[in-house]
Amino acid sequence: MNVTLMVLVSVFAYYCCKTWVSGIAFSITIISIWLLLSLCLGLFPIFSGYSRSWIFVLQTLLMLFVLSSVIFRRHDFMFFIAHFGMLVAVSGGFWGACDQTSEQVLLKDNTQFLVSNKECTFLKFDKEAQVAYLLTDKSDTLTAAVNHPAYYKGRDIYPQTYNAEHNVCVLLVVFQPWKWVEYAGILLMLIWAMLVPFKIINKRRKRYV
């Protein structure tokens, strides 16, 4: 379903690439509004429910449509890699949200649980380092911290909370199949950022030749 919608958005964007939709003023306005809303969602938790509303979904679809139209309109490598990277990153987050799953697991020391149908054992939780230690079915030891999750069988495992009184730890197991698409988009934008200085230097050289 997600792939079908992506193809439809791309097809419509291709046929509208020569219209006012891909113009500079409209494109900058739509992308700026979307970025501002995304910033508000990240800074103010009170707006977290807005990302699940139809208004935000339609705004994101419009932004992806405009980005696609702009890419089809211009044939400049630097312009392409920057906007295509942004399109890939946002698409990965937007379309992948439907396939993302998260599961809370309540565990005590030396308790087994399943991750993608594979056994994993919660060994213990280090209260001082705030790190959970896990043992995989291949006897490999994994460490999971709040901002540094353990990666196992395509899942990210985070220690969510710990109850010292009952010696119980809650792990959050998150499955994000589209996160590599997001990383690919971010990588493209980083490549663009590294190439910008070389383009500026090249322009200055041509100016003085």
Q: What is the pLDDT of residue 47?
A: 61
Per residue in 14-57, pLDDT (tens digit) is 556 566 666 677 777 877 887 787 777 767 665 666 666 777 77
Low-confidence ranges of the chain (pLDDT < 70): 1-23, 42, 44-52, 207-209
pLDDT attached to residue 189: 92
130-162 core/surface letters (b: 16 or more CB in 10 A; e: else): ebbbbbbeeeeebbbeeeebbebeebbbbbbeb
Question: In this predicted structure, what is the pLDDT of residue 186?
Answer: 93
Domain boundaries, the chain: 2-99+177-208, 102-175
Question: What pLDDT is stored for residue 208 in this prediction?
Answer: 60
- In one letter, which amino acid is 24? I
Tokens encoding 59:
């705004």
Report the pLDDT value the prediction gives residue 11, as an integer from 0 to 100.
60
